[in-house]
Amino acid sequence: MRIAKLEVQNFRGIKLLVWSPGSQALCCIIGPGDSAKTTVLDAVEASLSSRWFTFNEADFHEGDTQSVIKIEVTIGELSKALLSDQRFGLYIRGLRSDGIIHDEPAADHEPVLSVRLTVDATMEPVWELVCDRYPTPRVLSNRDRSLFGVVRLAGEEARHLTWGQGSVLARMTGDQEGAAQQLAEAYRVAKQTANLSSIPSLVAAAERAEQLAKELGAYVKEGFAPDLELGRGGFSSGSIALHDGTTPLRLSGLGTRRLATLAIQRASIMEGAIVLVDELEQGLEPHRVLGAVSALRTAHERAFTARVATGQLLITTHSDVVLSELKSESIFVMRRFNGLAWINQAQTDALAKVLKHAPRALFARRILVCEGATELGLILGLRELYRPRHNDVPVEHLGSAIVDGNGAAAPSLALALAGLGYSTGLFRDSDRRLPAATSASLQQINVAVFEYGDDLCTEQAILQASWPDIVDMLLRATTNTLGSATILAQLRPSFPGSDVTAPFANWIPAAPGSGGNQSRIAELAVQYNWFKSEERGRAIAPSVNQLVEQGQPSRLSLCLKAIERWLYVQ
């Protein structure tokens, strides 16, 4: 199964959301905190899970019980059982290749089913199959909804590590021929002898679970096997649990429990289930996160190549490690404003560079794209000096992030981020003017562009605004990063006869053929890349901050003060 379209109205923090994941089997939803990512998973689970959900006033948007909760999920890649007329075949709708759903399916349409969950002020949930060909929807029972095979990894790891009722492990065992009778026999035999290793259906399920868990990076010490774990309630199906050697798997670490459970649920994916995982990285070290994501992604890619329906995995994350292992087409960015939510797919070449160099920025609310290494280092250094002026609050606490635009790619990156709903700024020098079309596009999509103007590059803007003491500070910072011998060798040919080791105010007024010593030093800074790295940009930040705070108004100070104000907008 696969979610083709999701519509949510008046559910918790979402007043309205319409999302079409397309054909993606692996969907990772990201976004700033409180953007309602978990609510999306809750909406899918509430609509399609066989569990009974209890609703209260807090589940209604802004607590308004007069506005009915409506969640409608359209599912594709249907199993043969769902397509049969004896089941739901009469309610089949058609999904066109452009994503439009038709109640009268055509031959070239993918067959889909639409499940609608509604909750009114009575707090009684109603699940229905909807299709406009039939004026009366079909009410769905818990057993009906179980056919959609939705499973959720969210704090219930221990339940799924037993053969208890409703667990994925029991479902995996039950997929074998005659396994229901075998499992019943297992309970009887277990009561008598507890020799569970002699029951083929349990052993086969445990071995499969171990294999899948290892693929995702779970730590296995002795090997998975079925064994008894009797509690206060005495013997039941839940008393037969997975063990690693003699230790119940539920007593393993959080990361291993989650990976083992996800591995078992992944077995359901191969049968077309929809698996929901909130914050995949919980309890896992970075290297195990990488391994798990890589294994999941590779499995889906192989299935796609083989044209095999693998179901769908919907995850959320706050980990840049997870993003670094995903392809951009699997990433969906969620934003929310005044209850209106939207989810956009990230699939541009420009965004791929963010995933490679600064994926953590995608969890921010506001992103400043710095054109090059000089601009990036300068702003990273300045942001540490902003705090005393803003009640010791760092820009990160307001959801602001600063990323490298990689030179000429910066405008296209800013456009891509703004297109995904991020509040985006672009900081660039002005020695190369933006093409008119690019400038118009940035303005149209509300990207804030910060420039010095007057065709100034960063080095020129800084040196033009500097007085002698600041020039000395800049030269010392440059000497500390590049070495005194290098800087002196670069200075002396341009200032013959001058003691360039002396304070700048003692130098001759101007070098022959130059427009002033400061202009000549700016030329040398550009020529020899004095500030062209993140490290060097950070090194000159204290001097630049002094220029902005204590100097006369200049192109430099106007630009940098505007950036500071923008980063601190709430």
Report how far residue 536's alpha carbon sits from residue 252's, in angstroms, rounded to the nearest whole number: 47
* Contact call for residues 255 and 288 (beta carbons, < 8 A): yes
Q: Which residues of the chain have pLDDT under 50?
A: 176-177, 232-235, 237, 509-514
Buried b (16+ CB within 10 A) or exposed e, 380-418: bbbbebbeeeeeeeebeeebbbbbbbbeebbbbbbbbbb
Q: What confidence score (pLDDT) does residue 513 get?
A: 39
* Contact call for residues 293 and 280 (beta carbons, < 8 A): yes
pTM value is: 0.77
Q: What confidence score (pLDDT) does residue 85 get?
A: 63
Phi and psi torsions of 199, nearest 5°: -100, 105
274-277 and 312-316 beta bridge pairing: parallel
Contacts of 164 (CB under 8 A, 6+ apart): 170, 236, 237, 238
The CATH superfamily holding the domain 2-149+280-331 is P-loop containing nucleotide triphosphate hydrolases (3.40.50.300)
60 beta partners: 11
DSSP codes, 450-479: E---TT--HHHHHHHT--HHHHHHHHHHHH
Q: Largest alpha-carbon pair distance within the chain? A: 103
Question: Per-domain residue ranges for the chain?
Answer: 2-149+280-331, 155-271, 354-570
Local structure of residue 245 (DSSP, 8 states): T
